[in-house]
Amino acid sequence: MEYGIPLIGESFPELKVHTTKGPMTLPEAFKGKWFILFSHPADFTPVCTTEFYAFQKRYGQFKELNTELIGLSVDQVFSHIKWEEWIEENLGAKIEFPIIADTGEVAERLGLIQGNSTNTVRAVFIVDPKGTIRAILYYPAELGRNMDEIVRMVKGLQVSDEYGVALPANWPENELFGSDVIVPPAADIETAMERKGKEGCLDWWLCHKKI
């Protein structure tokens, strides 16, 4: 059966994976939680090592956001284990989240082998508690990810869900509106006209508010 690569708004595909913490079925294993599946090109590579250290440093922050992490590369589980040992012994960080040991099948299903490379790109899937893919990022091999942005994305998506609002650029430090959120566009003319000249509205289609 032919599948397209998973896209934002779609259900995360059901996948049986082998990880450093044993077999898991996704997204079932994280039911009721947000999770971030991130791929890296290969174990024992410099940028990936800094990323694992950085993800682990923020693991507590992710957990506070009811969010789990799971890594993935096309490497064998004993390679992941040896690399985790190296990170703990040399950098003092014990990797607490699972890493998928993929033969290439999962990477293929998720569309992680791109361009001429045989390695997985640096992808990030942010998946909500219903198993819906809410955001996807791709980074090239030569650029490590910004973990604070990934934390910001989870926070932003959770605020959006809770309050039914959108978030401006660089939220919560937007250059125009500070930590205010964006009110959804008016759905009818009456609401649009009510918003004209209202406090917090620069125009009927551009309103912000505090939460």
Query: What per-residue string of b and e applies to 25-38 under the rule 16 or more CB within 10 Å gives b?
Result: ebbebbeebbbbbb
Chain mean position to CA 3: 22
- Say whether the peptide bond before residue 27 is cis (omega within 30 degrees of 0): yes
Residues 45, 76, 158, 160: which binds ligand BEZ (CB under 6 A)? 45
Active site residue 201: no
CB of 117 to ligand BEZ, least distance (A): 8
Query: Looking at beta carbons only, is 9 or 46 nearer to ligand BEZ?
Result: 46
List, as own/partner pairs, every contact residues 177-186 make where C-beta atoms lie below 8 angstroms and the sequence separation is at least 24, other chains included: 177/208, 179/210, 180/208, 180/209, 180/210, 180/211, 181/208, 181/209, 181/210, 181/211, 182/206, 182/207, 182/208, 183/207, 183/208, 183/209
Instruction: Count Cβ atoms below 10 Å from residue 210 Cβ, excluding itself.
Output: 9
- Residue span binding ligand BEZ (CB under 6 A) among the ranges 40-48, 63-71, 164-172, 176-184: 40-48
The site map against ligand BEZ for 88-117 (x = CB under 6 A) is: ------------------------------
Query: Looking at beta carbons only, is 81 or 141 nearer to ligand BEZ?
Result: 141
CB of 87 to ligand BEZ, least distance (A): 13
- Say whether the peptide bond before residue 41 is cis (omega within 30 degrees of 0): no
CB of 211 to ligand BEZ, least distance (A): 38
Asked whether position 168 contacts ligand BEZ by CB under 6 A, the answer is: no
> Tokens standing for 149?
């942005």
Judge whether 38 and 69 are in contact, CB under 8 Å: yes
Facing residues of 26 across strands? 15
Query: Looking at beta carbons only, is 139 or 177 nearer to ligand BEZ?
Result: 139
Asked whether position 42 contacts ligand BEZ by CB under 6 A, the answer is: yes
The site map against ligand BEZ for 133-152 (x = CB under 6 A) is: --------xx----------
- Considering 48, 87, 101, 207, which one is annotated as catalytic? 48
For ligand BEZ, how many residues bind (rule: CB under 6 A)? 9
What is the rounded CA–CA span in Å between residue 189 and residue 140? 45
Which residues are identified as catalytic? 48
What are the residues binding ligand BEZ (CB under 6 A)?
41-42, 45-48, 119, 141-142
